[in-house]
Amino acid sequence: MSLTRTTCPYCGVGCGVLAGADGTIKGDPDHPANYGRLCSKGAALGETIDLEGRLLHPKVHGKTADWDSALDLVAQKFSAAIAEHGPDSVAFYASGQLLTEDYYVANKLMKGFIGSANIDTNSRLCMASSVAGHKRAFGTDTVPGTYEDLEEADLIVLVGSNLAWCHPVLYQRIAAAKDKRPKMRIINVDPRHTATTDIADMHLQIAPDGDSALFNGLLAHLVEAQVVDEAFVAQHVNGMAEAVAAARATDTADTGLSGQDLAAFYALWSSTERVVTVYSQGVNQSACGTDKVNAILNCHLATGRIGKPGMGPFSVTGQPNAMGGREVGGLANMLANHLELGNADHRDAVQDFWESPTICTQPGLKAVDLFEACANGQIKALWVMSTNPAVSLPDADGVAAAIANVPFVVTSDIMERTDTNDLAHVLLPAVGWGEKNGTVTNSERRVSRQRAFLPAPGAARPDWRIISDVAARMGFGDAFAYDTPADVFAEYVALDAAVSKFPRDLDLSIFADADYAALIPTQWPRDGRRFFADGAFYHPDGKARMVAVTPPILSQPRFLLNTGRNRDQWHTMTRTGKSPRLGPHLAEPYVEIHPADAAALGAGPGALLRVQSSFGRAILRALITPRVAEGHLFAPMHWTRQRTTLGAVNAVTAPVTDPVSGQPALKSTPAEAEIFHAKWYGYLASRSAPQPQTPYSAVSRTQTGWQAEVAGSRLPSDWEAEARALCGGVAGDACLQTDRATGTARVAFVEDGVITALFFAAHQPVVLSRNATVGLIGTQTPPLAALAGHAASDQPDAGPIVCACFNVGRNTLLAAAAKGANSVAALGEVTCAGTNCGSCKPELTALLAGAALPMAAE
Ligand code: SF4
């Protein structure tokens, strides 16, 4: 089987992948991002490329249509809205999943031909505050760091970044570097104890949004300790005095940290020349995210610790092509190729190059504002590309209602059913990872090819082509007459050359003569030039700016809800949710809550909590753990209305945004929590897809089919009928056990002697081995034995899955540890856990330390 050299479609690390049509997936040993490594998500890509659930043909009002009629309708609706209500009556909402070529074409159509800047993307939710902070400090949106800097640093400060789960291969590179150089120090700044904390020498469990106070305090300390690089600042930096004055006025008690911890952090930072400060969503997703970014950048600028090996600020991006989207200008406040929308010369140059009839002159609607404009009737036609805003935006129920309020909604997607697609009038089938060709840019500015190794299924088409086809039908055919993505890339590079007279960081000249088909992963700018090594920045005077930051006034509501990601899922699970290997790791929507808070609510293990704000509510499994501080809740953002009843946590989050960047504050919503008192709780494993209608439900894939956690408000009168319906209308004979005294019901369904579904219900959260139960599906185990709820005596129960690659459960690992496997390496030797992708190594470390993350329901 020949393997195709391509790039992982998940996080911003941008790992190289060797992929085969038979589902073979290997890390690319030659890719400079990962040198052959893959995390659990990347390693399981082969399980996500099937056609189950795929959108294979255009759909118009729910009916299959041909491409011509669907595209004609989209073009006609957009053109009619523009003609009647003006260009700002239409909008595109795009995605960091799009390839650079797709992004370029969408941006060109909206800004140069429709004449509006109403194109924003889910990258607004990810790193818009970093973009805004970079532009304030450097004059451009420049990420100056490289992955090698992380390996060469003597001190890495990870701020609001659970790298172990969200950028796992980068985490593994850091872990390997620390193994080689044990003197390397790692500090983790995070309100939560996460998997990343386990590698840190120091955990600063900071108050939410206390980061500005922390780095302001550091800046004041750097001045006092005379660590400031006076010559660098004098020559290359403005704004020092104002920034220091604001820093000195800051009360570091707002960090929530002890004086001892602050002193230790400040002493280590100031005494270590080679320091990299890594930050991501914990900094960006905040009502003061841009200020936080600048508070960090101030410290690097004041010390001149920027632009040199092993030092500098480093914003890591969440999405595979967030950086590519920034480069082509695919956000509502950008133009193209790092040019300024507010600069008339820039606009003229782009319009000349595009030979376009118009060019937008004002910033468009940023994500949250865009959906508010949908709600208030301003937007008459909306096109959502490769993303799922009805579940990923804050106030998700409000966003779903806003989308439903738009007279014409089109989506281009690879899946047929998503929370957003369910609201659209037209669905356009896009090719997915493995079927498409183009480029992506990772967090260190490295452009890599995604290459197709599978044929386009059904009638699916590349996004750049779908957008170009609509553009042609709107009368702009000449400007969108691309035959291949290579044509689009060549034009994008040519635009860069055409505007080279404007001082910018973006420099694509290294791609001018590139062989697109054979393009190897390539970092811009050319010749490995380091940004800011020469002290040259991009403000008109060539200097950087330090920004005076005033930390926010913090309040502590009863609970503050933080949201984030799980190790083994990606965004709204449309792809990773297909993988049986990934499904069992944290298989239901949960909320981490401190033991003292759980006790105050009366919530024990397995309890369900109703978490709510003034925007909406979610019902989530309580995961009781001291890894969150008292008064804090944490819930992952992956679950949707497709897989749960009320598991979409963004129904609760508030549409509060940073005033500079427009990025939503997804990590700090004031919330309430209370026990959801179900009349009964259930668990089922089934060959067929469950279809629960209960007030609480969460469905996930398993190695033998499906599983679901359920809970109901009314006791069923007929447990067999209830179980049959919940298990997706399973056929076959039923073996039923009920016990009125304990309120338990157990049902096994058998066809031709084979167990096809098992259902367990009780008045309390069901305690049984999920792993063992899943393993009984498809076997000829006698029904009564299958209903015992635990593994057979000759088949030890592995327990909840920790290592997704080798399906190694916690009980297996604990047994191995009890027999003397007392290191991660020894556990790997005995059980194989952690020896493939290595993503579970932090959990193995925690397990050995007796601090394993408890599972919600076991
Ligand atoms: Fe993909 Fe994992 Fe690499 Fe991220 S770290 S690009 S998810 S393999």
For residue 10, which atom of ligand 1 is closest to its CA?
Answer: 7
For residue 40, which atom of ligand 1 is closest to its CA?
Answer: 2
CA of 452 to the centre of ligand 1 (A): 18
CA angle 679, 683, 685 (to 5 degrees): 155
| Residue of minimum CA distance from atom 3 in ligand 1 | 15
Angle separating helix axes 344-354 and 485-498, nearest 10 degrees: 140
For residue 38, which atom of ligand 1 is closest to its CA?
Answer: 8
pLDDT tens per residue, range 291-315: 999 999 999 999 999 999 999 999 9
Best probe residue, ligand 1, of 10, 442, 638, 840 (max atoms within 8 Å of C-beta) = 10
CA of 248 to the centre of ligand 1 (A): 41
pLDDT of residue 858: 40
pLDDT of residue 796: 59
> How would you class 76 by CB atoms within 10 Å of its CB: exposed for 0-12, middle for 13-18, buried for 19 or more?
middle
Strands (E), 465-515: none
CA of 172 to the centre of ligand 1 (A): 11
CA of 277 to the centre of ligand 1 (A): 21
CA of 761 to the centre of ligand 1 (A): 38
pLDDT of residue 284: 97
> Cα–chain-centroid distance for residue 44?
17
CA of 462 to the centre of ligand 1 (A): 23
| Residue of minimum CA distance from atom 2 in ligand 1 | 39
CA of 124 to the centre of ligand 1 (A): 21
Best probe residue, ligand 1, of 6, 11, 441, 576 (max atoms within 8 Å of C-beta) = 11
Please, what's the largest Cα pairwise distance for the chain?
Answer: 83
Best probe residue, ligand 1, of 167, 171, 317 (max atoms within 8 Å of C-beta) = 167
CA of 1 to the centre of ligand 1 (A): 23
pLDDT tens per residue, range 617-675: 999 999 999 999 999 999 999 999 999 999 999 999 999 999 999 999 999 999 999 99
pLDDT of residue 490: 98
Which residues form ligand 1's pocket by a CB distance below 6 Å? 8, 10-11, 13-15, 34, 38-39, 41-42, 167-169
Report the DSSP pairing between strands 544-545 and 237-238. Answer: parallel
Best probe residue, ligand 1, of 6, 7, 8 (max atoms within 8 Å of C-beta) = 8
For residue 9, which atom of ligand 1 is closest to its CA?
Answer: 1
Question: How far is the C-alpha of 401 from the C-alpha of 857, rounded, in Å?
Answer: 33
For residue 39, which atom of ligand 1 is closest to its CA?
Answer: 2
| Residue of minimum CA distance from atom 4 in ligand 1 | 11
For residue 42, which atom of ligand 1 is closest to its CA?
Answer: 8
CA of 41 to the centre of ligand 1 (A): 7
For residue 570, which atom of ligand 1 is closest to its CA?
Answer: 7
Nearest to 805 by CA among 198, 29, 39, 174: 39
Question: How far is the C-alpha of 60 from the C-alpha of 828, rounded, in Å?
Answer: 52
Question: How far is the C-alpha of 435 from the C-alpha of 19, rounded, in Å?
Answer: 11
**Is the distance from CB of 837 to CB of 37 less than 8 angstroms?**
yes
CA of 14 to the centre of ligand 1 (A): 6
Q: What are the distances in angstroms from CA 124 to CA 138, 167, 745, 805, 812? A: 20, 19, 48, 33, 42
pLDDT of residue 853: 45
For residue 7, which atom of ligand 1 is closest to its CA?
Answer: 6
For residue 442, which atom of ligand 1 is closest to its CA?
Answer: 6
Best probe residue, ligand 1, of 38, 166, 173, 568 (max atoms within 8 Å of C-beta) = 38
For residue 168, which atom of ligand 1 is closest to its CA?
Answer: 5
Best probe residue, ligand 1, of 17, 26, 39, 440 (max atoms within 8 Å of C-beta) = 39
Counts of helices then strands in the chain (DSSP H, E): 27, 34
Sign of the CA dihedral running 820, 824, 828, 831? positive
CA of 553 to the centre of ligand 1 (A): 37
CA of 668 to the centre of ligand 1 (A): 27
Single-letter code of the amino acid located at 782: P
In DSSP terms, 156 is beta-bridged to 186, 276
For residue 320, which atom of ligand 1 is closest to its CA?
Answer: 6
CA of 507 to the centre of ligand 1 (A): 26
Tokens of 453: 């190794």
- pTM, rounded to two decimals: 0.94
CA of 34 to the centre of ligand 1 (A): 8
**Is the distance from CB of 566 to CB of 855 less than 8 angstroms?**
no
For residue 14, which atom of ligand 1 is closest to its CA?
Answer: 6
CA of 651 to the centre of ligand 1 (A): 28
Residues of the chain short of pLDDT 70, as ranges, are 789-797, 850-858
CA of 11 to the centre of ligand 1 (A): 5
CA of 607 to the centre of ligand 1 (A): 33
CA of 37 to the centre of ligand 1 (A): 9
Question: How far is the C-alpha of 643 from the C-alpha of 646, rounded, in Å?
Answer: 9
